[in-house]
Amino acid sequence: MKIDAMTTLYGIIGWPVSHSLSPLFQNGFIEHSGKNAAYVSFPVAPDQLEPALDGLWALGVAGFNVTVPHKEQAFVRTQADADARLIGAVNTVRRSDAGWQATNTDWQGFRSVVEGLQLPLQGADVLLFGAGGTSRAVLHALASLQVGRLFICNRNPDRLTALIDHARQAYPALSCLPLAWDQQAVDRVCATAPLLVNTTSVGLKDGQQFPFVLSGAGAAMDAVYRPDGDTAFTLAAREAGRMAVDGLPMLISQGAAAFAWWHDCAMPDCLASLRHIEEQLG
């Protein structure tokens, strides 16, 4: 990859952002495509979002990703599309003649990984753990996949109720049901659900165990990713005999969808990127 006076700049804003894998695979996508572009990380403190957006604009940056803690705030200074507005978060921004345009590709990342698993989801039960920001993107994707009943299980009942209310309002065709934070309730749904999804942050910290034993057949997808192997959730799912996928393919796929949106092209090959990252991380 050469950098010269014509190089177009992309990046990611977040705080902290040094741990982000996005520069690794985005520069891989750039290299494979042969474009004269580069992707870097910009640490932007929580109170610096608005000056940062103005600064990126003034410097001619062509597009950028948005990560914690700015995803819910990045509606300022940007024109967000319907997906981002329904999810309530922005993760991708691009320059246009009319100013910054914003979208959310997290749901596309989730959906393309689910589609790759080829599960019998139409009309089927799905169990979603978590009711935070990530769950809103997963919910948006599941609504587009025409699943049958979506059970949502969250430790904090107030957040659970808020998410169920949002789901019923935003996706009236989706049958969305609260599930008690309780092993027996989880067992009941696991028995019929071909897909379990974890959007809680359990497993991000060392030594955490998933709070439930999982059972049943089918797949399990975690939004959490750990460079050292299984997550708490993928471990629990594998112990039950389920096929388990951690958050890395989803992360790369949301990045591929962002790349396609910035460059108005097809999504780059995520599988090649996944292998490249695994080699780099050992």
Under the rule (CB under 6 A), what is the footprint of ligand ATR?
A: 130-134, 154-156, 159, 199-202, 211
Distance CA 218, CA 236 (A): 13
Find out whether 91 is annotated in a ligand binding site: yes
Q: How far is the CB of 208 from ligand ATR (least distance, A)?
A: 7
Find out whether 223 is annotated in a ligand binding site: yes
Alpha helices in 34-68, H assignment, sequence order: 49-58
Residue number, 104 or 200, with CB nearest to ligand ATR: 200
Q: Which residues belong to the active site?
A: 71
Asked if 133 and 69 count as a contact pair (C-beta separation under 8 A), the reply is no
Which of 238, 133, 137 lies closest to 196 in space, CA to CA?
Answer: 238
Token pair, residue 57, equals 């604009």
Exposure string over 77-87, b if 16+ CB within 10 A, otherwise e: bbebeebbebb
Using CB positions, name the residue nearest to ligand ATR. Answer: 132
Residue number, 139 or 270, with CB nearest to ligand ATR: 139
Q: How far is the CB of 110 from ligand ATR (least distance, A)?
A: 12
Q: How far is the CB of 138 from ligand ATR (least distance, A)?
A: 9
Q: How far is the CB of 102 from ligand ATR (least distance, A)?
A: 17
Find out whether 11 is annotated in a ligand binding site: no
Q: DSSP for 95-123? A: EETTEEEEE--HHHHHHHHHHHHT---BT
Find out whether 96 is annotated in a ligand binding site: no
Q: Determine if the peptide bond prior to 69 is cis (ω within 30°).
A: yes
Residue number, 159 or 188, with CB nearest to ligand ATR: 159
Find out whether 207 is annotated in a ligand binding site: no
Of the chain, the end-to-end C-alpha distance in Å amounts to: 22
Q: How many CA atoms lie within 13 A of 261 on its CB side?
A: 25
Find out whether 231 is annotated in a ligand binding site: no
At residue 222, the 3 state secondary structure works out as strand
Distance CA 30, CA 276 (A): 13
Residue number, 132 or 148, with CB nearest to ligand ATR: 132
Distance CA 235, CA 242 (A): 10
Residue number, 177 or 260, with CB nearest to ligand ATR: 177
Find out whether 247 is annotated in a ligand binding site: yes
Q: How far is the CB of 226 from ligand ATR (least distance, A)?
A: 14
Distance CA 63, CA 42 (A): 12
Residues making up the binding site for NADP(+): 223, 247
Residues making up the binding site for shikimate: 20-22, 67, 91, 106, 225, 254
